[in-house]
């Protein structure tokens, strides 16, 4: 029995105390029969190994003859107690024709001779998922882990440096677990071995951090996200992308002071502030002493060898006669953990003495005659050579072919890639099991519904070299790419047909394999038609994981390789759609993005693909909205509604009403906008992320603005508050920004500038976190508006100019008209009336050329105000009357009130205010709420001063929410 077992083995909510023969669940004893407990102990002691049924029966019923039915009965009782069998609770699996295997991750408490590092406080499960599980058996690194964990606080960047197979990753993961509580769960593991292109390093880190990056500068997005956060990053396997990692790590440490980084690499990063720890081999017994078994096992290398040998064969025993042999093996393996584990796997097959003899025969010259600058690397090569020669030819073939995978893979994937005319699926499966049992392949995520496998990095590199030597790489590459193309297409089909999420079949850790498949198939010597199909299938995945820059890269490359066979096909439609979408969000609202979306829509119409027609109409609607072409958005929304009606899908129809509501609102049809907003229903949560219409659960963003324009200020404020609450459940950052911006406009209209200022700060911080540059610019513009209201007019004007310059450079016109309004008014306050008129006239011209907008009445009113300052009362009155008529056509009662107030002031000063005040009184009388807001108070004050023909009772304020008073233009 393992010495660790005396102190307990944990898995899931359970703790198994072998010595006490006790099973606990959440600290409470669990009733379990004696035979079932024996079965559990036997399986857990050899977790991850397949135990033959006969061996299991012999262990549980020694010296008793029983048949397999008894074993099945007790296993059924054991599984019932464990709650085994659900998708999320798999502990014991039956390997047909082989036996049983305990597959859940386990954690063993350390033995008395090797104390573990202090255990981290229990953390929520979602936090620990950011880290791979601790290695079940970790030997010889406990003091080091404690030491490095204690240094992280002061040494912000620590690189664990050493050769392959020495245990760098294992050590880093253990440190991460030890520091989970210190970092409040903010520990993230980034496996850089999954990528080969250094430019993908920032995107991989962003994906692990969960940052939906929509910017071309992914590194900046990562830094912005981490700034102010207490976080520990573990960057694993940096050597092949070291320049990119070094620069990014240095930038993070400099700009995010609460972030610490642990890097593992075969060479130092050489970054500023880096502290390098060279990981030493495990200490081996000396060769000049005769040691007892107990003394030998006090050395970590021997401890690991014996422990792994016992895990492979529970009958293995070590006595004092064998101790020198163990010591000799450890010394010859230079204390390298991977080499020791590989050797231990052979002991179960060949025995201790024969293993030592084989070791001498295969490696003596390498160790004693060729000590070079990287001796441990040579040792690993020799170790793998030896292991490779000991396995069967079929196992060698499968191992070579599986080296094509980057990171983890499933049995299905292994079968698809490793099988061909010479190897069938059963042979591949058997070889995979044999390789796993011999430690050449390890299992990952064994507790999930589908076990995943992976080759250790060193083993993979070795096997890949063999694949290249034998000329098998092209054919295996093609099968690998073909598998991922079919798997991604299957995931998309399930999404459309069954409403499943693509992410349910494909996960972030699969991206490494998808990238590798794309690199091969789109390369000079690749299968371009396959690559085009694969890029089209992979594009939705990159979008779902917010890797839009990468989506832009792959789809653009695939489009450049279109052939006669792939042009004007569904593949091109999907590529154009994804390329245009990604380009719009990462490269701006360019004509090239518009051309791609337009071409995609043409193909969708040719192919009669209604779902893609709706998707592309939605993207074109977004493009036109962002560029200020509001009447174009109305036409596109109407086309989308027709498509949704043709499909007769309620989710699609609801999504069409959402498009129509924003289009009508922006062109100034407020009554229509309200109708569509009330018709639109966000889809249920189970549909939100899987609908073919991409109808996410976004709030009714425009409702608060529509209500204010219709003359319902109190309801508008409440709608803004509800939109804020709903935004807490939105995954995408863009709708959250829009909620913040449009809510700020409502608070500015009612005069609550304290709330507007707070929203501007919140918007800027949030947009910086996700590198949403246009929204940062809008936030700066809103800050400029606040400064003007506080009397800091020159500063406010400067911020507004900066904001508008940035937005127009990016062709992001959605918010430009409202910000231009504020700029024109600010210039007028500064006495620069001509400049203000130039700004407002240019804004009105742009808006009219685009078909008008909701705030055109307010633009005309501000123009009239500036004309008054210029002394042209006739032109001012004309602008006011034009504004009043347009506001009435738009059903914008609040714009009417503002303009009527301005007109009544003008006519009163001219001595001819009766008619204007009557008009104002009639408009005022149509309000039923909001009487404590700025505009209504100003209107009432003017009416009282001019003794208008309204009774005092008619002008009596009704109940409303108190708001801080101020006057300002609208902010779009």
Instruction: Summarize pLDDT for 564-592 with one digit per residue, the tens.
Output: 999 999 999 999 999 999 999 888 899 99
Mean of pLDDT values over 648-668:
89
Segment holding 59, helix H or strand E: helix 53-60
- Residue 698 confidence (pLDDT): 62
Own/partner pairs, 904-907, CB within 8 angstroms, 24+ separation: 904/942, 904/946, 905/942, 906/864, 906/868, 906/873, 906/876, 906/877, 906/880, 907/877
- Token reading at 866: 């500036």
Pick from 59, 56, 51: which is nearest to 348 by CA? Answer: 51
452 forms beta bridges with 410, 444
Mean pLDDT of 31-49: 82
What proportion of the chain, given as a percentage, has pLDDT over 70? 84
CA 193 to CA 264: how far, in whole Å?
Answer: 11
Helices (H), 267-332: 293-297, 300-312, 323-332
- In the DSSP assignment, the letter for residue 668 is T
What is the spatial distance between Cα 398 and Cα 389, in angstroms, rounded to a whole number?
14
Give the tens place of pLDDT for each residue, 798-819: 999 999 999 999 899 999 999 9
Record the tokens describing residue 359, joined without a space: 């070791």
Answer whether residue 372 shows pLDDT above 70.
no
Q: Show the tokens assigned to 622.
A: 């977004």
104-118, 339-353, 739-753, range with greatest mean pLDDT: 739-753
Of 812, 811, 865, 814, which is closest to residue 836 (Cα–Cα)?
Answer: 865
Across residues 645-650, what is the average pLDDT? 86
Determine which of 79-83, 601-605, 917-921 has the lowest per-residue pLDDT on average: 79-83
Q: How far apart are CA 722 and CA 700, in angstroms?
A: 9
pLDDT at position 755, please?
96
pLDDT digits (tens, 9 = 90+) for 818-839: 999 999 999 999 999 999 999 9
Give the pLDDT of residue 86: 55
- Strands 274-278 and 231-236 turn out to be unpaired
Question: Could you give the 3-state DSSP secondary structure of residue 911?
Answer: coil
DSSP label of 283 = P
Q: What pLDDT, on the 0 to 100 scale, is given for residue 881?
A: 97
Return the closest-CA partner of residue 81 out of 38, 24, 27. Answer: 24
Residues 601 and 616: their CA atoms lie apart, in Å, by 6
Q: State the Cα angle at 311 between 310 and 315, rounded to 5°.
A: 45
| Predicted local distance difference test score (pLDDT) of residue 692 | 46
pLDDT at 516 over 80: yes
pLDDT (0 to 100) of residue 496: 55
Q: What share of the chain is helix, strand, coil (3-state, %, to 5)?
A: 60, 5, 30
Q: Is the dihedral of CA 657, 660, 666, 668 positive or negative?
A: negative
pLDDT at 127: 46
> Which secondary structure element, helix H or strand E, spans residue 690, and what is its range?
none
Of residues 101 and 114, more confidently modeled: 101
% of the chain residues with pLDDT over 90: 49
pLDDT at 531: 97
Q: Which residues have a Cβ under 8 Å from the Cβ of 895 and sit 6 or more positions away?
A: 709, 855, 857, 858, 861, 883, 887
DSSP string, 494-512: HHHHH---GGGT--GGGHH
Q: What angle do CA 727, 733, 739 make, to 5 degrees?
A: 45
Q: Cα–Cα distances in Å, from 669 out to 63, 548, 638, 794, 854?
A: 88, 34, 14, 35, 8
**Residue 365: both structure tokens together:** 């010259």
Range name among 336-345, 464-473, 729-738, 859-868 with the lowest pLDDT average = 336-345
Q: What pLDDT sits at residue 360?
A: 59
Long-range CB pairs of 351-354 (<8 Å, 24+ gap) are 352/309, 352/316, 352/322, 352/325, 352/326, 353/325
pLDDT, mean of residues 366-378: 33
Write down the pLDDT at residue 546.
78
- Check pLDDT > 80 for residue 690: no
Which position has the token pair 């098998």? 472
The yes-or-no verdict on residue 375 having pLDDT over 50 is: no
Confidence at 212, pLDDT banded by 50, 70, 90: confident
Distance CA 197, CA 203 (A): 11
Phi, psi of 852 (to 5 degrees): 95, 175
Residue 447 has what pLDDT?
46
Dihedral sign (CA 154, 155, 157, 163): negative
The Cα–Cα gap between 913 and 916 comes to 5
pLDDT of residue 243: 92
CA angle 342, 344, 350 (to 5 degrees): 105
Of the pLDDT bands very low, low, confident and very high (cuts 50, 70, 90), residue 196 is: confident
Identity of the highest mean pLDDT range in 727-731, 906-910, 953-957: 906-910
Q: Three-state SS for 134?
A: coil
Q: How far apart are CA 451 and CA 609, in angstroms?
A: 37
- Rg over CA atoms, the chain: 35
Please report the sign of the dihedral spanned by the C-alpha atoms of residue 457, residue 463, residue 465, residue 471: negative
Q: What is the pLDDT of residue 117?
A: 37
Q: Residue 220: count other Cβ atoms within 10 Å of its Cβ.
A: 17
Block residue for tokens 């390298």: 336
Q: What pLDDT, on the 0 to 100 scale, is given for residue 719?
A: 94
Strands 157-161 and 92-95: unpaired
pLDDT band at 141 (very low <50, low <70, confident <90, very high): confident
Q: What angle do CA 65, 67, 71 make, to 5 degrees?
A: 110
Euclidean distance between CA atoms 804 and 780, whole angstroms: 10
For the segment 398-435, what is each residue's pLDDT rounded down to a tens digit? 999 999 999 889 999 999 999 999 999 999 999 998 88
The arithmetic mean of pLDDT across residues 181-202, rounded, is 89
CA–CA gap between residue 770 and residue 220 (Å, rounded)? 9
C-alpha distance from residue 477 to each of 481, 513, 613 (Å):
6, 11, 34
The tokens describing 11, both together, are: 């898995």
Average pLDDT, integer, range 151-176:
87
**Helix, coil or strand: residue 576:** helix
Least-confidence region, from 311-315, 334-338, 902-906 = 311-315
Tell me which residue of 289, 281, 288 sits closest to 305, measured CA to CA. 281
Return d(Cα 344, Cα 318) in angstroms, integer.
13
First to last CA, the chain: 72
- Using CA atoms of 921, 927, 932, 938 in order, give the dihedral in degrees to the nearest 10: -30
Which pLDDT tens digit goes with each residue over 425-475? 999 999 998 888 777 888 765 445 568 898 877 788 889 999 999 999 999
Helix, strand or coil, per DSSP, at residue 971: coil
Which of the two residues, 506 and 296, has the higher pLDDT score?
Answer: 296
Question: Mean of the pLDDT values across residues 509-526?
Answer: 94
Mean pLDDT estimate for the chain: 84
Give the CA angle between residues 672, 678, 682 to the nearest 5°.
125
**Kind plus residue range of the DSSP H or E element containing 713:** helix 713-727
Confidence of residue 77 (pLDDT cuts 50, 70, 90): confident
Band (292; pLDDT cuts 50, 70, 90): confident
């Amino acid at each position: 029995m393992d010495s660790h077992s005396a102190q307990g083995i944990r898995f899931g909510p359970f703790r198994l105390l072998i010595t006490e023969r006790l099973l606990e669940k959440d600290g409470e004893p669990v009733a379990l029969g004696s035979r079932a407990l024996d079965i559990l102990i036997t399986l857990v002691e050899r977790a991850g190994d397949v135990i033959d049924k006969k061996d299991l029966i012999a262990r549980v019923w020694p010296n008793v003859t029983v048949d397999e039915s008894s074993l099945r009965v007790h296993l059924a009782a054991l599984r019932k107690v464990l709650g085994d069998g659900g998708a999320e609770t798999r502990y014991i699996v039956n390997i047909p024709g082989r036996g049983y295997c305990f597959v859940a991750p386990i954690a063993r408490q350390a033995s008395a001779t090797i104390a573990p590092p202090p255990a981290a406080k229990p953390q929520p499960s979602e936090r620990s998922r950011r880290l791979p599980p601790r290695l079940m058996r970790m030997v010889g690194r406990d003091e080091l882990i404690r030491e490095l964990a204690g240094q992280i606080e002061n040494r912000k960047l620590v690189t664990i440096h050493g050769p392959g197979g020495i245990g760098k990753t294992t050590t880093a993961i253990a440190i991460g677990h030890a520091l989970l509580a210190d970092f409040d769960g903010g520990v993230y593991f980034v496996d850089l071995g999954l990528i080969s292109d250094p430019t993908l390093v920032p995107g991989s880190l962003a994906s692990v951090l969960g940052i939906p990056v929509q910017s071309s500068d992914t590194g900046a997005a990562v830094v912005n996200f981490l700034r102010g956060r207490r976080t520990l990053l573990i960057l694993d396997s940096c050597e092949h992308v070291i320049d990119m990692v070094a620069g990014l790590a240095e930038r993070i440490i400099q700009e995010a002071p609460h972030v610490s980084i642990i890097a593992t690499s075969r060479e130092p990063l050489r970054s500023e502030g880096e502290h390098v720890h060279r990981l030493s081999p495990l200490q081996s017994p000396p060769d000049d002493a005769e040691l007892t078994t107990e003394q030998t096992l006090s050395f970590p290398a021997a401890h690991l060898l014996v422990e792994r040998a016992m895990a492979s064969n529970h009958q293995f025993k070590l006595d004092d006669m064998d101790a020198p042999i163990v010591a000799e093996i450890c010394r010859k393996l230079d204390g390298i953990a991977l080499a020791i584990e590989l050797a231990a796997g052979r002991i179960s097959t060949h025995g201790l003495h024969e293993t030592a003899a084989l070791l001498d025969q295969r490696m003596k010259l390498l160790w004693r005659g060729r000590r070079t600058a990287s001796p441990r690397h040579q040792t690993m090569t020799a170790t793998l050579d030896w292991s490779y020669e000991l396995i069967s030819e079929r196992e060698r073939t499968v191992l070579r072919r599986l080296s094509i995978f980057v990171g983890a893979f499933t049995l299905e994937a292994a079968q698809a890639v490793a099988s061909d005319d010479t190897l069938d699926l059963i042979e591949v499966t058997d070889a995979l099991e044999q390789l796993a049992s011999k430690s050449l392949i390890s299992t990952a995520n064994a507790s999930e519904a589908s076990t995943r496998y992976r080759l250790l990095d060193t083993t993979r590199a070795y096997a890949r070299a063999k694949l290249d030597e034998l000329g098998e790489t092209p054919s295996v590459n093609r099968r690998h790419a073909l598998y991922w193309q079919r798997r991604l297409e299957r995931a998309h089909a399930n999404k459309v047909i069954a409403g499943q999420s693509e992410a349910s079949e494909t996960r972030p850790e699969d991206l490494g394999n998808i990238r590798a498949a794309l690199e091969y198939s789109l390369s000079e010597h690749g299968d371009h038609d396959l690559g085009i199909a694969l890029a089209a299938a992979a594009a939705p995945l990159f979008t779902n994981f917010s890797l839009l820059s990468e989506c832009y890269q792959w789809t653009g490359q695939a489009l450049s390789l279109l052939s006669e066979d792939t042009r004007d096909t569904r593949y091109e439609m999907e590529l154009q759609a994804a390329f245009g979408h990604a380009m719009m969000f990462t490269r701006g609202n360019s004509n090239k993005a518009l051309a791609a979306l337009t071409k995609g829509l043409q193909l969708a119409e040719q192919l009669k693909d209604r779902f893609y027609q709706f998707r592309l109409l939605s993207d074109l609607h977004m493009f036109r909205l962002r560029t200020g072409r509001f009447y174009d958005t109305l036409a596109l929304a109407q086309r989308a509604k027709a498509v949704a009606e043709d499909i007769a899908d309620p989710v699609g129809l609801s999504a069409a009403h959402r498009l129509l509501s924003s289009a009508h609102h922006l062109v100034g049809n407020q009554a229509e906008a309200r109708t569509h907003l009330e018709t639109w229903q966000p889809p249920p949560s189970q549909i939100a992320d899987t609908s073919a219409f991409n109808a996410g659960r976004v709030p009714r963003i425009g409702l608060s603005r529509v209500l204010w324009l219709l003359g319902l200020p109190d309801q508008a404020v409440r709608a803004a508050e509800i939109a804020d609450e709903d935004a807490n459940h939105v995954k995408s950052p863009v709708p959250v920004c829009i909620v913040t911006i449009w809510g700020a406009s409502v608070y500015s209209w009612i005069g609550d500038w304290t709330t507007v200022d707070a929203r501007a700060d919140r918007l800027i911080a949030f947009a910086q976190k996700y590198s949403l540059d246009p929204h940062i610019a809008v936030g700066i513009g809103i800050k400029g508006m606040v400064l003007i209201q506080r009397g800091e007019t020159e500063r406010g004007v400067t911020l507004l100019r900066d904001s508008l310059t940035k937005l127009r450079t990016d062709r992001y016109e959605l918010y430009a008209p409202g910000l231009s309004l504020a700029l024109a008014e600010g210039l007028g306050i500064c006495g620069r009336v001509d400049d203000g008129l130039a700004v407002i006239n240019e804004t009105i011209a742009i808006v009219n050329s685009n078909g008008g907008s909701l705030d055109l009445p307010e633009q005309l009113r501000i123009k009239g105000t500036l004309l008054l300052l210029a002394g042209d009362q006739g032109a001012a009155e004309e602008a006011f009357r034009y504004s009043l008529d347009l506001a009435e056509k738009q059903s914008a009662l609040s714009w009417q009130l503002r303009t009527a107030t301005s007109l009544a002031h003008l006519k009163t000063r001219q001595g001819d205010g009766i008619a204007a005040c009557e008009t104002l009184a009639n408009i005022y009388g149509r309000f039923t709420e909001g009487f404590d807001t700025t505009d209504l108070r100003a209107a009432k004050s003017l009416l009282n001063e001019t003794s208008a023909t309204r009774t005092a009772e008619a002008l009596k304020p009704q109940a409303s929410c108190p708001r801080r008073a101020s006057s300002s233009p609208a902010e779009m």
